[in-house]
Amino acid sequence: MQIKVCGLRSPENIEQISTLDVDFMGFIFFKRSKRFVSNSLNKNIINEIPSHIKKVAVFVNERSEDVLWTLKDYEYGFDYIQCHGDETPDYCKDLRDLGFGVIKAFQMDEEFNFDQLDSYKDAVDYYLFDTSSKHYGGSGQKFDWSLLKKYKGNKPFFLSGGIKPEDVNQVQNISHPQLLAIDINSGFENEPGLKNSKLIETFSEKLKQHS
């Protein structure tokens, strides 16, 4: 099982986490997030992340031209764009056609209709299932993981939302065949945007030794 560490911001912390056994690193370009990268994201630091770690830029309902301006003008070399708002299938497909991998996030609750994923299946590379929140994620809360049993599709997904170090055994017990990666964020922080590398290292070791 793979691991995505999201919400990184500090150059020193980025370098530190990039030495760990993680598979994706996420950077948030949503101005209302506590982990908004602002102007602190140095392209040289980003480009020094080892190539086996995929770099993900997270946007929420951003105009596609502004997404492209941010990514191409600053030459960050991102591998994936994570669309974490209400982006349409056409919006996602347009980004994908430009050469980016696309991860589409969905907010999960008891009312979620998995049929809506059908319109995205040819427009994105992966889904991401997060806890429903009026603030588009960042709630620090889990949703009911038993809802994942309702997902019968073939596209791999990330599991997100309130995951903490002590959840490692529960995560290992999820047997869904399309679960690709665990997305961790606030549960592994010393403060917003500053990840605790020891917690992540221990979580990764425990998770991957049983994968």
Q: Can you tell me the mean pLDDT for 38-51? A: 89
What SS3 string covers 62-81? CCHHHHHHHHHHCCCCCCEE
Domains recognised in the chain with CATH numbers:
2-208 (3.20.20.70)
Q: Can you tell me the mean pLDDT for 55-84? A: 93
What is the model's pLDDT at position 137?
67
pLDDT of residue 211 exceeding 80: no
Residue 71 CA to residue 69 CA, distance in Å, equals 6
pLDDT tens digit sequence for 109-163: 999 999 999 999 999 999 999 999 877 766 789 999 999 999 999 999 999 999 9
pLDDT of residue 29 exceeding 90: yes
Tokens of 157: 């997904």
Mean pLDDT for all residues in the chain = 94
| Percent of the chain with pLDDT strictly greater than 90 | 88
What is the model's pLDDT at position 112?
96
pLDDT of residue 80 exceeding 90: yes
Q: How many CB atoms lie under 10 A from the CB of residue 135?
A: 10
